[in-house]
Structure 1
Amino acid sequence: MSKAREPGALSALLRAHVPQGRSAALEQVEGLEELLHELYAAGQAQWPSVPLGLERFVRHLARHLPEGSGDVLRTLHTADLYLACACAEGEPLALQAFEQHILQRVPHRLGQLPESTVDDVLQELRQRLLVGRGETPPRIADYSARGSLLAWVRIIAARIVGELASQQGRQVLFDEPPEVLARMLSSNDPERELLREDSRQLLAEALRKALVVLPERDRALLRLHHLHGLTMDRLSAMYGESRSGVARRVAQARERLLELTRAELSSRLNLAGPEVESLLGLVQSRLDFSLRGL
């Protein structure tokens, strides 16, 4: 018999993981064990294709239990919390459901916006909400279920629209510091010594300029794949596209970045074709490493 099926096991698990000082309120909730099973079943019913373990759901629920009476459990949007928890764990079917039922409904709540702005907003939402950084889980894990998941995402999307509307915001979203790009070649790379310091700086600036011009959709794919290490399978789930289609888009984005960098180097350095290709070869050979530096 699993722990979750033992009498009182879920109630004990919930009390063990709620924030300090909130366990006592749960003692007053009648039928707490049955209620937890009902909340989990509601999540399964709302998202039947999304797998999520019962104990994992309860631990996640405990993290977001607000202060006050334990009866507040009945007012939370726990079915949406179920989906958010599965997305935070990187479950592919959860990511597909989030894309289809949440993200694709966001544009209709933002008013009349240019198509390019809508694309930028959706790309930024995917990165902010679904991608963890180091030991920090994806931000969607912070969704507390006080309101609907769609409303929570829409609020974040509206903030992103405001950022895009300001020059300062565009700098944050679309620019990269040149000193970071300057470190794209590792210090122990013998090819690095073939470049003069000024050429290295120009190369870094050319790559930065190319990234600014690169469409945000392409830039997001390169960042997610090369910087965050998302596999083609994970990207396929996030975007709701076939694995081969996503792989093709990543390859095309890489080629587009290299073409833009080639053009920028040619204009900045006034070099002949072979010299530009030599510098570009360094960029291409180190592309994975350089994008991690971003």
Structure 2
Amino acid sequence: MAKFPETDVHGADLALARACASGDATALATLEERIIPQVRAALKRRDVDDTTADEALQVLRARFLVAEGSMPPRIMEYAGRGPLSAWLRMTALRLAWGVMNERKGPLVTDDGPLEALGVAPDDVELQYLKDRYGADFNAAFRDALAALEPRARTLLRMHLVDGMGTARIAEAYGVDRSSVKRWLATAREWLLDQTRVRFAARVGVSMPELDSLLAQLRSQLDLSIRRLMAGGPT
């Protein structure tokens, strides 16, 4: 028996999604001009601020419009059941809520970079510094991470939490890999510098011993960032 056509499929949106998945420049431009503003408006109706919306939409682009290895872009999962804007809106809302929850900090308030750092049994000095100044150092790092500018925070989340390679991130931003690597390196150095500044402000002195803590933090920086952005130990 012949099947009747499925009238609930949004054919135009489905064609647009398929064209975007293939990397068609006109289709991608149409998505940005027609669909993304609708998604952004939906975020605004849910009281998502502009900065958070920008972060969520950038992650959305990287996840759904850029291929991951041999896998096609995830926008191919759209089957035309309902408007494309509604399909993307739900993902954007989840991403935005994740960003906002991340900014509130981890549920375990003592969690911080020093918990990721091992100490050799004979390193009495470093163990003393962790015991004496660990809480202040962790707080300084959390404050620095929270103060990171939005693009840098988004890049670190993509790379360290979502596991996106620099090539995939570069494609999402329309730049070369060297730019992404430079942005990530700048974000890491800013975090280290701001941790130093904020720690000194908390304890009221600039300690020579702080270099020992910062050296340890540098060696495990990505793990420390991932722990806090993911909301706890991994």
Distance 1:83 1:265, change over 3 A: farther
1:146 aligns with 2:76: no
Distance 1:272 1:261, change over 3 A: same
The worse-fitting range, judged by mean Cα deviation, of 204-213 and 102-111 is: 102-111
In 2, the alpha carbon distance for the partners of 1:282 and 1:100 equals 45
Which among 15, 23, 47 is matched to residue 79 of structure 1?
15
In 2, the alpha carbon distance for the partners of 1:260 and 1:104 equals 38
Task: Say if 2:16 and 2:27, in contact at 8 Å, map to a contact too.
Answer: no
AA at the equivalent of 2:55: Q
Task: Say if 1:233 and 1:243, in contact at 8 Å, map to a contact too.
Answer: yes
- Tell me the CA shift for residue 221 of structure 1: 0.7
SS where residue 75 of structure 1 aligns? coil
In 2, the alpha carbon distance for the partners of 1:260 and 1:250 equals 15
Task: Say if 1:120 and 1:217, in contact at 8 Å, map to a contact too.
Answer: no
1:120 aligns with 2:52: yes
1:289 aligns with 2:223: yes
Which among 155, 162, 165 is matched to residue 221 of structure 1?
155
Task: Say if 1:80 and 1:145, in contact at 8 Å, map to a contact too.
Answer: no
The structure whose RCO (Cα within 8 Å, separation 6+) is larger is: 2
* Rg larger for: 1
Unaligned runs of at least 5 residues, structure 1: 1-26, 30-68, 133-137, 164-168
- Tell me the CA shift for residue 292 of structure 1: 2.5
Distance 1:170 1:155, change over 3 A: closer
What pairs with 1:209-288 in structure 2 (closer than 5 Å)? 209-288=143-222
SS where residue 205 of structure 2 aligns? coil
Distance 1:97 1:121, change over 3 A: farther
Instruction: Give the aligned length.
Output: 208
Task: Say if 1:182 and 1:201, in contact at 8 Å, map to a contact too.
Answer: no
In 1, the alpha carbon distance for the partners of 2:99 and 2:166 equals 28
Task: Say if 2:56 and 2:99, in contact at 8 Å, map to a contact too.
Answer: no
Indicate the percent of aligned positions where both proteins have the same amino acid. Answer: 29
- Calculate the aligned-residue CA RMSD, in Å: 4.0
TM score, norm. by length of structure 2: 0.67
1:208 aligns with 2:145: no
What pairs with 1:189-204 in structure 2 (closer than 5 Å)? 193-204=127-138
In 2, the alpha carbon distance for the partners of 1:266 and 1:122 equals 33
- Tell me the CA shift for residue 264 of structure 1: 0.9
| 1:161-208 CA-partner distances (Å, limit 9, x unpaired) | 8x6xxxxx8751423213442565244666663533352222221111
In 2, the alpha carbon distance for the partners of 1:227 and 1:160 equals 13
| 1:91-140 CA-partner distances (Å, limit 9, x unpaired) | 8x48x8887543565664446x8xxx5443132133357549xxxxx985
In 1, the alpha carbon distance for the partners of 2:203 and 2:182 equals 31
Correspondence for 1:63: none
SS where residue 80 of structure 2 aligns? coil
Distance 1:205 1:101, change over 3 A: farther
The worse-fitting range, judged by mean Cα deviation, of 248-257 and 152-161 is: 152-161
